[in-house]
Amino acid sequence: MRKARTVYEAVCDRVEQGVAQLKHVYFLKISNSGNLELDSLRLLTMEQALADLAYFITSMNQKYKYNNPKWITFGGSYPGALSAMFRSRYPELTAGAVASSAPLNFKLDFYDYADVVQSVLSQTPVQNDANLRCDELVRSAISQMQTLSLTKEGRAQLNKQMQTIKDHFSLSPPFDDKTTKQDIANFFGNVFNIFQGMIQYTYDGRNEVSKQYSTARQACDIMNKPGDLIDNVWELAKFEADKVDGDPIDSFSNSYTADMDFYKQTDYDKMGEGAASYKESIFSQSGWYWLSCNEMGYLQTTDGDSIFGSTIPINLFYDMCTDMFGPAINASYVRDGNKAVVASWNGVDDFDATNLCLPNGKFDPWSALGYYNADKTRNIVPVVIEGAAHCSDMYPVYDGEPAALPEARQKIKDFLSGIICMSTHDDADHPRGSSSSLSLGFLLIISLFALL
């Protein structure tokens, strides 16, 4: 436990405050089992995570003999969803929650992600002789690539064209006679990842990368370069790997089987020598895929009518779930698990909670799954942030940040003040789940090893 010091901490001088930060154990090395085999993964569920949070708060209250403390949970992205869900499952344990960029609509076919990316690109101005918007440039490039992918001759052209890019950039492996439909869908999934990496944190104060490099502005400037549009896609791929990921590449992953083999590494201790961060990355990504296959959904297809065409079908994700986790985790399993979670939470339109603040950036693709039903009686406060992206309100202030952020942060602070600083007689009329003591406030930050 530490003293409060971040942008939303210390919102009330009359209340002593502290901060605890929890990490989802399955997104780190699993100390008990040391692996991500199916028997172990079955314990990785949202309900178990919520129960663990409840156990932590209850244990802290008992250990330190806290008398009616005001616990406030914070989370961004998937932890944001947990923060909001905790207010519904265990309202008696916290006074309120801030759930930033929380995807509370557990949608199986999440084609809306691509729709928001398109919207962001369409709002990023470029100038060219053809009078094409940035999103139209991307649509044309993807359409050309999709057409080429349909024939042996076209795939050979994609191989050759990529090799002409500077620094001997190439597909690994190249398309050949053994190329499958899964390989082609996986190829477009990896292409889509380039744009995801550029847009999801665009203009966030997360770090210098999100401020300067992983931005819609940079993506559109590269796509708008004179010359061949497919060449521009590969130029953007190299830029994203170098400037955004910090991992320059000379090839582009192009094997469905190889990608699945990466995620199927299940025993931490048998991965051999190597950086701990690399091993933990495998575990965090595999754990995330398990949550998606087992219950959450969030399968980022292009099944809608977006600029990315019909390149990434939902069947690709069903195949991935089976190939990563075994034949029992098939399409029916994935669909049934997702339906059960949606039914359990009554759907996003009937979400049951009180004292909840829900910030969402309009440029965040995950905002399509957010909750926006304001309710004064239950103290539900959605905060929509124009021009901002994923978890944008959680990062430090910086010069040149999206203009709507200061007002959004103030709304969140006002929400917190109303809960933490309210007087005892105000508590009597406050929605259920609020505690009454003014003597102690704790901010519980829920986090993952890796964000969405």
* CA pair distance 97, 57, nearest whole angstrom: 14
From 100, 135, 284, 390, the catalytic residue: 390
Start-end of H helices in 33-151: 38-41, 46-64, 78-89, 112-122, 134-149
Question: For residues 331 and 108, is the Cβ–Cβ distance under 8 A?
Answer: no
Task: Give the list of residues 6+ apart from residue 113 with CB closer than 8 angstroms, or none.
Answer: 196, 300, 365, 366, 368
For 265, residues 6+ apart whose C-beta sits below 8 A from its C-beta are: 271, 282, 286
Q: Are 134 and 140 in contact (CB under 8 A)?
A: no
Asked about 364 being catalytic, the answer comes back as: yes
Q: Work out the burial of residue 405: count CB atoms within 10 Å of its CB; fewer than 13 is exposed, 13-18 middle, 19 or more buried.
A: buried
* Catalytic annotation, pick one of 77, 170, 214, 447: 77
Given the residues 135, 323, 364, 393, select the one marked as catalytic: 364
Closest C-alpha among 58, 23, 8, 70 to residue 446: 23
**Which tokens go with 424?**
């005892």
Tell me if 219 sits within 8 A of 231, measured CB to CB: no
**Secondary structure (3-state) at 439:** coil
In this structure, which long-range contacts are made by residues 317-324, counting pairs with CB atoms below 8 Å and at least 24 apart in sequence?
317/292, 317/293, 319/182, 320/260, 320/289, 320/293, 321/289, 321/292, 321/293, 323/260, 323/264, 324/260, 324/263, 324/264, 324/286, 324/289, 324/290, 324/293
Structure tokens at 14: 């009359």
Active-site residue, 77 included: yes
Pick from 422, 412, 420: nearest CA to 391: 412
Token pair recorded at residue 10: 């210390």
CB 126 within 8 A of CB 134: yes
Peptide bond into 173 cis (omega under 30): yes
Hey, which residues are catalytic here? Answer: 77, 364, 390
